[in-house]
């Protein structure tokens, strides 16, 4: 058994069961999951946080509730293009055009 410390009574019990205690100073703490930062500040619709998506689509007319719906739907299948997204979210032509401009400007992407 390897641990930072071992009380003497526990050490004695381990010795009786032929389990040897090895003292170690290093404590391994699991690291939190790594969230990949967007490349060149491009927000990937399929894995970005709600705040990132809201910031990236600002000015398109898409509200927070629609972003919530997008996040729920993308968990079932990732979006490959703007047509799939617009269809699932029932976006108007004007909103779709604004999103297309964001894609062309390098603000958002799908994969």
Could you report the per-residue pLDDT of 38-94, keeping only the tens digit for each? 456 789 999 999 999 999 999 999 999 999 999 999 988 899 999 999 999 999 999
CA dist 108 and 46 (Å) reads 10
Q: Which of 1-5, 15-19, 39-43, 79-83 has the lowest mean pLDDT?
A: 1-5
Q: Domain map of the chain by residue range? A: 1-30, 39-109
Question: What are 55's two structure tokens?
Answer: 């910031």
User: How is residue 35 written in tokens?
Assistant: 């969230």
What span, in angstroms and rounded, lies between the C-alpha atoms of 107 and 55? 10
Structure confidence at residue 28 (pLDDT):
67
pLDDT, mean of residues 19-39: 66
CA-to-CA dists, residue 29 to 21, 26, 32, 84, angstroms: 20, 10, 9, 41
């Amino acid at each position: 058994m390897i641990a930072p410390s071992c009380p003497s009574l526990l050490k004695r019990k381990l010795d009786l069961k032929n389990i040897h205690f090895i003292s170690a100073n290093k404590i391994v703490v699991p690291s939190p999951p790594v969230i990949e930062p967007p490349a060149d500040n491009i927000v990937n619709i399929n894995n970005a946080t709600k705040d990132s998506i809201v910031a990236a689509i600002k000015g398109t007319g898409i509200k927070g509730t629609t972003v919530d719906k997008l996040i729920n739907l993308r968990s079932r299948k990732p979006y490959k293009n703007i047509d799939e997204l617009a269809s699932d979210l029932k976006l108007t032509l004007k909103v779709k055009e604004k999103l297309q401009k964001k894609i062309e400007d390098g603000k958002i992407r799908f994969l």
